[in-house]
Amino acid sequence: MGLLILAVVCLVSAQTADKPAAGLHCELRLNNEVLTTHPQSHLHFLLFSEQDGLKVYEDWNMWGYFARTFDLTVSGTKTYQITRRERVWDKNFPKTVTINRGGVLVTDIYLCDGTWRVSPKLPVQGVYVRMIGRYTLRPRTGISADPSWYPLEDVWVGTINSTPVELYLSKGCVLRLNSDRP
């Protein structure tokens, strides 16, 4: 089977603490329209910078780990949300990566590896879905003003959403997403 790459452009609705919105957009790229539990079955979440010096949290720490989520629609009506599962942190401190104008940060997303969960649970079968990717880093205001949650001042904040892409989640993938345990 030939390599199929799908790109989804994210719509920007973001702002930094002291600057106007924009500066960052994203794409989802799939190697195949089917996601399975196979160790190589994954998609790429790409963040592109439109200006110099944009900082985002790396995905190995708790601040970046929860930044990517996905909304699914099944049969055009039923909606679901895929988020990262809680985990134990053996190493966790706020570290960022800087993306300059024209630069890209590629994150491999292994949606069916047990580190993701879906709510509510999907039907236990292979299922065609319409998926929207979302990247969110919130500013330090209100409840999230706690510096332990977003401890660095100069990090990009906002939300960007992708346009929908259609793909198939295998039954094994659905079982892992539905599982109460990783």
Question: Secondary structure of the chain in the HEC alphabet?
Answer: CCCCCEEEEEEEEECCCCCCCCCEEEEEEECCCEECCCCCCCEEEEEEECCCCEEEECCCCHHHHCCEEEEEEECCCEEEEEEECCCCCCCCCCCEEEECCCCEEEEEECCCCCCEEEECCCCCCCEEEEEEEEEEECCCCHHHHCCCCCCCCCCCCEEEEECCEEEEECHHHHHHHHCCCC
Residue 1 in any domain: the answer is no
pLDDT above 80 (res 145):
no
Residue 18 in any domain: the answer is yes
Arithmetic mean of pLDDT, 122-131: 94
Structural domain that includes position 113: 6-178
Residue 15 contacts residue 158 (beta carbons within 8 Å): yes
pLDDT the model gives residue 151: 64
Residue 25 in any domain: the answer is yes
pLDDT above 80 (res 16):
no
Arithmetic mean of pLDDT, 83-107: 94
Arithmetic mean of pLDDT, 37-65: 92
| Model confidence, pTM | 0.83
Burial class (CB in 10 A: 0-12, 13-18, 19+), 122: buried
Structural domain count of the chain: 1
Residue 143 in any domain: the answer is yes
Q: What phi, psi does 130 have (nearest 5°)?
A: -110, 120
Residue 74 contacts residue 66 (beta carbons within 8 Å): no
Of 80-84, 133-137, 143-147, the range with the lowest mean pLDDT is 143-147
**Average of per-residue pLDDT values in the chain:** 83
pLDDT above 80 (res 4):
no
Of 16-20, 109-113, 151-155, the range with the lowest mean pLDDT is 16-20
Higher local confidence (pLDDT), 58 or 162: 58
pLDDT confidence band for 111 (50 / 70 / 90): very high
Arithmetic mean of pLDDT, 55-59: 93
pLDDT above 70 (res 1):
no
Arithmetic mean of pLDDT, 130-141: 82
What proportion of the chain, given as a percentage, has pLDDT over 70? 80
pLDDT above 50 (res 8):
no
Residue 51 in any domain: the answer is yes
Total Cβ atoms within 10 A of residue 15: 16
pLDDT the model gives residue 2: 39
